[in-house]
Amino acid sequence: MSLPSLEGILARAGMPATDMTRAAREQAILEAMRLDMAPALELLHQKAHEADRNGGSAEILEDPNSPLGKQLTRICAGTILREIAEREVTHGKPLTFLNCCRVFIGTAPDDLALAQIESQAGPVAFADC
């Protein structure tokens, strides 16, 4: 499960999610992300600042089977989780997710097709990673 803390957070709100405002629902999701995926959020935040120092882009290459890699996958592959992370964690910098292990924070490569191939067929990573 992506956000095991979400159920308790919603229960504490004292109302069904359907009765909450969109902002309140997104705040609940962010709170659960902070509880359940703190290492990934911290890394994304650090990389956002690295992107500022590096001309607008930073990269993460992480084993998708590691605990951190699983968190990054859940954040980047889930549309609302990614949107919240971009707004609240990476200071508006977009997240680009390739293969199952590579994340760009900020400016993505100009040729995403080449970056995808390099992330799946080498030299960066491979399909069986």
Residues of the chain with pLDDT under 70: 1, 126-129
Tokens at residue 114, please? Answer: 């080449």
pLDDT at position 101: 87
At 24 the pLDDT is 97
Give pLDDT, residue 128: 67
pLDDT of residue 99: 86
Tokens 């760009």 found at: 104
pTM over 0.75: yes
Q: Are the CB atoms for 85 and 42 separated by under 8 Å?
A: no
